[in-house]
Amino acid sequence: MIPHMNLALLVPALPLLGFLITGLGYKRFRNNQAGIIASSAVGLSFLISLSSLFVLRNSGQDSATLTLFNWISVGKMNIPFAFLIDHLSLTMMLIITGVGTLIHIYSIGYMHADNRVNSFFAQMNLFTFSMLLLVMGANYLILFIGWEGVGLCSYLLIGFWFENPAFNYAARKAFVMNRIGDLGFILGIILLFFTFNSVSFSEVFAQASSFQVGAPVITLITMLLLVGAVGKSAQIPLFTWLPDAMAGPTPVSALIHAATMVTAGIYMIARSSVLYILAPTTLTLITIIGLATALLGAIIGLKQNDIKKVLAYSTVSQLGYMFIALGVGAFSTAVFHVTTHAFFKALLFLGAGSIIHAMGGEQDIRKMGGLRTKMPVTYWTFLAATLAISGIPPFSGFFSKDLILSKAFEHNFILYILALGGALLTSFYMFRLLYLVFFGEQRLAGSHPHESPKVMTIPLIILAILSVFGGFLNVPTLFGGDSNFGVFLQKAMTSFSGEELSHTTEISLILISSLLIGLVILFAYRTFVTKVLVPKADGEPMSFFGKFITNKFYIDEFYATIFEKPFRFLSGFLYQKIETTILNPAIEGIGVATLKLGELVRKIQRGNMSFYFFAMVAGILLFIIFILTI
Amino acid sequence: MSALIFTIVLGIILLYLGFVKNKAILAPVAIAGLMITLFLLFKDWGLGSKYFHDMIVFDNFSIAFNISMVIITILIFFFGIDYYEALEFHVAEHYALMIFALTGAFLMTSFSNLIMLFLGIEILSIPLYVLAGGKKYSYRSNEASFKYFMLGSFATTIFLFGVALVYGASATFYLPEIKIFISQFNGHLPPMMLVGLLFILIGVAFKVAVAPFHFWSPDVYEGAPTLVTAFMSTVVKTAGFAAFFRLLNMGLLPLPVPLEKALWVMTGLTLLIGNLAALKQTNFKRLLAYSSIAHSGFIMLAMLSQHNTSASVILYYTFVYSLATVPIFIIFILMKRAADGSEELSIFRGLYKQKPWIAVFLTILLMSMAGIPPTSGFMAKYQVFVLSISQGYLGISIVAILMAVIGIYYYFFVMREVFTEREQSYPIQVSKINAALIVVCGVAVVMLGIFVWNLPI
């Protein structure tokens, strides 16, 4: 037991408290009160997470388990309600609370005009709490509580403006897609328990070493857990909810995409690295899924015209990269990319929010333009984030993405080429976005964009600083660093220790990718700034491929035909044939019969005392006969 | 023993306090006295003192049940402050009679001799016959009193007949000796003994309103003054089951097969009749009477699933049941007062609009009665089912669970009324002390469901 470590219990407790205060008193708070309470709850959590980090460092130990109480104890099942504080969970805690705090503060400005702002902050706090529970839980069951809590909160927040049916539909879609993943996840947990007689990380991982690499049961477990991760981290085939999740207020998108929710799947796989190392088949599958998702997201992103949709597909694509990293066994690299991605993606979304705010709710990039001079802070911060996501050295994205690319190179050359291709696409559509929004002439007549208030720009600036310098957490040996972050995380999970690339190979890889990215940016500049090409309006005819991509490969329509229609038919059949004609009358019949029986029994009791005597004596006689004859 | 003596003295003091023309001092004296009783009972915990040639044994079983009954009586007395405000005469007698009944209940939990059981039952019952007729000018109250007395004395004679037969067969009143006597026969008892035991069991079954000897209870519950009904359905019921259990545990276990089968038949009948008859009730007191019969069925189930935790389960069940019943009756009385004496279920309509807090607590209490988590009523039923299933009585457990499901219907019927709007709901007045009582009981009902205890008794 490490002294003062109990302090870490406050990390999830404070957002919960904030949720209770803002949630229960939602009628009482005026102006920004709820926002201030919610932000300070998360902010304090961040400070405590930070101090927990130092406590853990000074203690010289690698992890600490905090047991709150014995939660479930039935038969051989014994599950304590415990938190595990180690380097991995601390990293996630710092991201969630740190980026979360900035998003909360930003929201005070963004949501100030909304009349349900108090519920908004209550739900945001609950979201943060669930995510903290997810990353801090010391066993799969607590992880699962957080997992489900995150699913619930995302549903609430995506559908926050529920007056709009389309938003409601998006919320439902997110929930259903996640539920599909959850099913796999819970089956995985059950199988885990069945195999190891425990769901706690320490016991499972300790026992896992007795299994051979490729053991079928481990492969099955990891596959099932992967289904959960695919749902939550929006990978093929369950990714379609994430772009639709844009229906929520923009800070929610930032929270979902950057600090919470989608990183849950990555975290879970990284946490279970011990198991995944034993299942090479699953790892290969993860790599394939990741690569496909990274490319698909990037390609769709090329043709999107809604500023948030572009960012959404970029998230899908970036998550694909994290999956690639997981698939090649570079778990700590994946978590590193989660970290840098959290910085720049939060920044991108908050910047987009600032733009949308300034444009009076307009989200179509074809109607924007020329915002560079009108919104300088937003522009410079957005630029920093764009450079980061494109992987330009020395911005944070460069370090993490380049690490992933070099790991891919170690693994397989084709994988590397394809991943690099995706990275080039990423920089193209990101710069397309940047140029269309900030350069050229303003295309929407009659609007007067203005810079956002300080409460919104200051989080942007802080995130920009993090996006620029965040990469220095993990400077590779090539640049004279010592991969601090990776080493730090190694204590919490295992990794493949493949051959190190020689420095010459590494430098040439970096040079190639940087050069190509530079060319792509130049190309984008020539297309959108010099030639002032604006993407076509919705009605205009397009080439076959253009149409295909604009319509997101018709995946939504494909799902609708393959899954939705048969289900609708089945449910219609069940309702009309089974429910209304068989089940309903049967159940009602039971109820009516019971009531009739009650009526009958009641009739015996008429208040006539001589009858009571008669009945009692009859009862006594019958019982005498009964006991004497039996 | 000191608790028993002190309680009798307390009753006598209360009786004589009637000469002082100040009603206001009665309830405080009674409550303070019962607090002392409580203290005296706690003091005896673990001693297992025996008195009168071992005819009375104050073991932990009896003390635990006594404590539970005293707590419930205190709750009822707290409510009596308000209830007897309107009554002009004989208030002291009401308190005194309830105290005397309580002493009878003490005997019923601590006997080890059939004579003591008989005395206990009679000391408990005779004050109740009087109390049931407490409203002197009410036709219904008189009817209840008369019916209760007639049917009760009939049951007493049966019981006494049984005692005589048992004595005739075994030549002893002592339960441990009866146990030894039974064990000699290896399951094949002589008919005289068997019938004698059956009569004794029927006598006790009558007291706890087990079918088919339950006929008195709906009529008496309905006619008796409501506070007395509350007392009967809680304290008297607890005492009856404590006596029933003690009788089986001390004297009859392992039960001779014919008797066990007879008791199972009674249990099944009780479960069916209690729940089914309640379905169509429109009078709230009758509804509670049938619900009380139904609860008897569940307690019987726990009792017959002979296991060393049975006693604790029964104690838990009766205590949390009483804890929910008393405030429900209190709310009912207040509603009845507001509705000019109507006892229909419909008087609850619109309560939520009128007094939301009361409505919420009433809902919690009804949920506990219906056995819905996280209330203690659920935990009580759950424990009973766990017990009976673990002892292998699967069939009857399924019947009981089905009946518990049916039970939900009529409790929710009341809830529906509470939350249905009506244009002019009855202007219910809740005094501070009653509100506090309702809140305390409501919270306790939930807390006991979360922190379940098991006493080693």
- A chain contacts of residue B277, beta-carbon cutoff 8 Å: 598, 601-602, 605
Taking chain B, what is the end-to-end CA distance rounded to the nearest angstrom?
18
Chain B nearest C-alpha distance from A627 (Å): 5
Query: How do the residues of chain A divide into helix, strand and coil, expressed in percent and rounded to 5?
Result: 75, 5, 20
More confident residue, B229 or A600: B229
State the Cα–Cα distance between residues A423 and A400, nearest whole angstrom.
12
Instruction: Tell whether the model's pLDDT for residue A497 goes beyond 60.
Output: no
Q: How many CA atoms lie within 13 A of A151 on its CB side?
A: 25
**Are the C-beta atoms of A67 and A80 separated by less than 8 Å?**
yes
- Please tell me if residue A113 touches chain B, with a CB cutoff of 8 Å: no
Please state the φ and ψ torsions of residue A69, each to the nearest 5 degrees.
Answer: -160, 170
CA A626 to chain centre: 68
Closest Cα in chain B to A593:
B276
State the Cα–Cα distance between residues B31 and A494, nearest whole angstrom.
68
**Are the C-beta atoms of B103 and B15 separated by less than 8 Å?**
no
Please state the φ and ψ torsions of residue B213, each to the nearest 5 degrees.
Answer: -115, 30
Q: How many CB atoms lie within 10 A of CB A179?
A: 13
Instruction: Tell whether the model's pLDDT for residue A495 goes beyond 70.
Output: no
Task: Please tell me the total count of domains within chain B.
Answer: 1
What are the residues whose beta carbons fall under 8 Å from the beta carbon of A473, sequence distance 6 or more?
A: A336, A339, A484, A485
Q: How confident is the model at residue A624 (pLDDT cuts 50, 70, 90)?
A: very high
When CB atoms are compared, the residue of A598, A612, A623 closest to B198 is A623
Q: Give B401: exposed, middle or buried? Use CB within 10 Å, 0-12, 13-18, 19+.
A: middle
Q: How confident is the model at residue B254 (pLDDT cuts 50, 70, 90)?
A: confident
Average pLDDT of the residues in A535-550: 72
pLDDT digits (tens, 9 = 90+) for B144-157: 999 999 999 999 99
Let me know if residue B119 belongs to a domain.
no
Chain A nearest C-alpha distance from B277 (Å): 5
Q: How many CA atoms lie within 13 A of B396 on its CB side?
A: 27
Q: Are B276 and A628 within 8 A, CB to CB?
A: no
What are the residues whose beta carbons fall under 8 Å from the beta carbon of A270, sequence distance 6 or more?
A: A88, A326, A331, A332, A334, A335, A493
Q: How confident is the model at residue B426 (pLDDT cuts 50, 70, 90)?
A: confident
**Short-list A244, A131, A122, CA closest to A177:** A244
Chain A nearest C-alpha distance from B6 (Å): 38
State the Cα–Cα distance between residues A335 and A342, nearest whole angstrom.
10
Let me know if residue B135 belongs to a domain.
no
Q: Are B258 and A598 within 8 A, CB to CB?
A: no
Instruction: For residue B113, give the 3-state DSSP assignment.
Output: strand
Q: How confident is the model at residue A373 (pLDDT cuts 50, 70, 90)?
A: confident
State the Cα–Cα distance between residues B364 and B357, nearest whole angstrom.
11
pLDDT at A1: 61
Count chain A–chain B contacts defined by CB atoms under 8 A: 74
Q: Are A628 and B257 within 8 A, CB to CB?
A: no
Closest Cα in chain A to B159:
A620
DSSP code for A582: I
Q: Give A570: exposed, middle or buried? Use CB within 10 Å, 0-12, 13-18, 19+.
A: exposed
- B chain contacts of residue A624, beta-carbon cutoff 8 Å: 195, 198
State the Cα–Cα distance between residues A501 and A480, nearest whole angstrom.
15
Let me know if residue B187 belongs to a domain.
no
Instruction: Tell whether the model's pLDDT for residue B175 goes beyond 90.
Output: yes
Instruction: Tell whether the model's pLDDT for residue A488 goes beyond 80.
Output: no
- A chain contacts of residue B289, beta-carbon cutoff 8 Å: none
pLDDT at A102: 92
Distances (CA, A) of B232 to B118, B239, B288, B329, B342: 18, 10, 12, 12, 21
Which amino acid belongs to residue A219? T
Q: Are B262 and A627 within 8 A, CB to CB?
A: yes
pLDDT at B267: 95
Let me know if residue B261 belongs to a domain.
yes
- Please tell me if residue B218 touches chain A, with a CB cutoff of 8 Å: yes
Average pLDDT of the residues in B418-425: 83
Mean pLDDT of chain A: 85
What are the residues whose beta carbons fall under 8 Å from the beta carbon of A589, sequence distance 6 or more?
A: none
Find where tokens 């029964």 sit: B314
pLDDT at B75: 94
What domain range includes position B407? 257-457
**Percent with pLDDT over 90 in chain B:** 68
| Mutate which: B217, B276, B282, B293, vs A, most A CBs within 10 A | B276
Q: Give A414: exposed, middle or buried? Use CB within 10 Å, 0-12, 13-18, 19+.
A: exposed
User: Which range has the top average pLDDT, A63-72, A356-365, B50-59, B360-369?
Assistant: B360-369
pLDDT digits (tens, 9 = 90+) for A209-239: 888 888 888 999 999 999 999 988 888 888 8
pLDDT digits (tens, 9 = 90+) for B69-116: 999 999 999 988 888 877 777 888 999 999 999 999 999 999 999 999
Instruction: Tell whether the model's pLDDT for residue A123 goes beyond 60.
Output: yes
- Please tell me if residue B219 touches chain A, with a CB cutoff of 8 Å: yes
ipTM above 0.85, yes or no: yes
pLDDT at A498: 54
When CB atoms are compared, the residue of A601, A626, A628 closest to B277 is A601
Average pLDDT of the residues in B367-372: 93
Dihedral, CA atoms, A145, A146, A147, A149, nearest 10 degrees?
90
Which ranges of A162-306 does DSSP label H, i.e. alpha helix? 165-196, 201-208, 216-232, 241-244, 250-254, 262-271, 273-277, 280-302
Sign of CA dihedral B5, B43, B74, B102: negative
Domain ranges within chain A, ordered by starting residue: 1-270, 279-541, 554-629
Taking only residues 592 to 611 of chain A, the set having a beta carbon closer than 8 angstroms to any beta carbon of chain B reads 594-595, 597-602, 605, 607, 609
**Short-list B314, B318, B428, B316, CA closest to B362:** B428
Average pLDDT of the residues in A525-533: 78
Encode A488-502 in three state secondary structure.
HHHCCCCCCCCCCCC
Q: Are B281 and A602 within 8 A, CB to CB?
A: yes
Q: How confident is the model at residue A241 (pLDDT cuts 50, 70, 90)?
A: confident
State the Cα–Cα distance between residues A300 and A429, nearest whole angstrom.
9
Label the pairing between strands B56-58 and B49-51. antiparallel
Angle at B181 between CA B178 and CA B184, to 5 degrees: 150
Let me know if residue B339 belongs to a domain.
yes
Let me know if residue B399 belongs to a domain.
yes
State the Cα–Cα distance between residues B309 and B378, nearest whole angstrom.
17
- Please tell me if residue A616 touches chain B, with a CB cutoff of 8 Å: yes
